[in-house]
């Protein structure tokens, strides 16, 4: 009985964080092929919501809804865009979460990995902070949105190559 309970607790706690995407994985995705990103996200329960492909670019939008009776529902999305020209190729990744705890983990990872705040500014209902480690630049946005007199806060991490 105790072993079954322990296994159940381990399974539930592991699956609770399975939908979060760690910052190092986001950086790794800058170099992954589409198939690997698609497979990884689908294994985590993300759904491809939209894709738009033309001769110069490709945009993919994935979403995940994390429902739990023990905590509030969390929405996450990952959008990545590839831009191709004759001489260059670029990728932008935007990861959004509505979890303040997850935002704390993202900020903690950036600070513990040598990123420092380079620039801060506000734009309408958004607070932007640009971090750098001397080689890479990351933008973090905190966005407040009101819907039916309720305020929602989303947290975005934007990286590119």
pTM, to two decimals: 0.83
Residue 106 DSSP one-character state? H
Residue appearing with tokens 């990286």: 159
Residue 32's φ and ψ, nearest 5 degrees, are -80, 155
Q: CA torsion angle for 45, 46, 49, 51 (degrees, to 10)?
A: -130
pLDDT, one tens digit per residue, over 118-135 is 999 998 899 999 999 999
Residues 6+ apart with CB under 8 A from 73: 65, 66, 67
Residue appearing with tokens 């990884």: 40
pLDDT, one tens digit per residue, over 14-68 is 344 458 999 999 999 999 999 999 999 999 999 999 999 998 999 999 999 887 7
Q: What is the pLDDT of residue 141?
A: 96
Residue appearing with tokens 């919501």: 49
Beta strand segments in the chain, E: 47-53, 57-66, 74-84, 89-97, 116-123, 126-132, 137-147, 150-160
Q: What is the pLDDT of residue 13?
A: 39
pLDDT at 86 over 60: yes
d(CA 37, CA 33): 7
**52, 58 contact by CB (below 8 A):** yes
**Per-residue pLDDT averaged across 93-116, rounded?**
95
Q: Residue 25: beta bridge partners?
A: none
Mean pLDDT (the chain) is 87
d(CA 73, CA 18): 14
Q: What is the pLDDT of residue 147?
A: 86
Q: What is the pLDDT of residue 19?
A: 82
**51, 38 contact by CB (below 8 A):** no
Residues 6+ apart with CB under 8 A from 22: 109
70: its two tokens: 């023990």
Percentage of the residues of the chain whose pLDDT score is greater than 70: 87
């Amino acid at each position: 009985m105790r072993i079954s309970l322990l296994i159940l607790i381990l399974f539930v706690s592991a699956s609770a964080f399975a939908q979060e995407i760690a910052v190092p994985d986001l950086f790794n995705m800058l170099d992954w092929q589409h198939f690997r990103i698609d497979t990884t996200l689908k294994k985590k329960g993300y759904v491809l919501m939209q894709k738009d492909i033309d001769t110069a670019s490709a945009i993919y939008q994935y979403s995940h809804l994390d429902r739990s009776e023990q905590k509030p529902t969390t929405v996450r999305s990952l959008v990545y865009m590839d831009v191709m020209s004759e001489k260059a190729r670029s990728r932008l990744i935007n990861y959004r979460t509505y979890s303040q705890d997850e935002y704390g983990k993202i900020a903690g990872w950036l600070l513990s990995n040598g990123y420092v705040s380079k620039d801060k500014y506000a734009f309408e209902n958004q607070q932007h902070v640009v971090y750098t480690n001397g080689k890479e630049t990351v933008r973090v946005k905190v966005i407040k949105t009101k819907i039916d007199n309720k305020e929602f806060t989303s947290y975005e991490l934007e990286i590119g190559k």
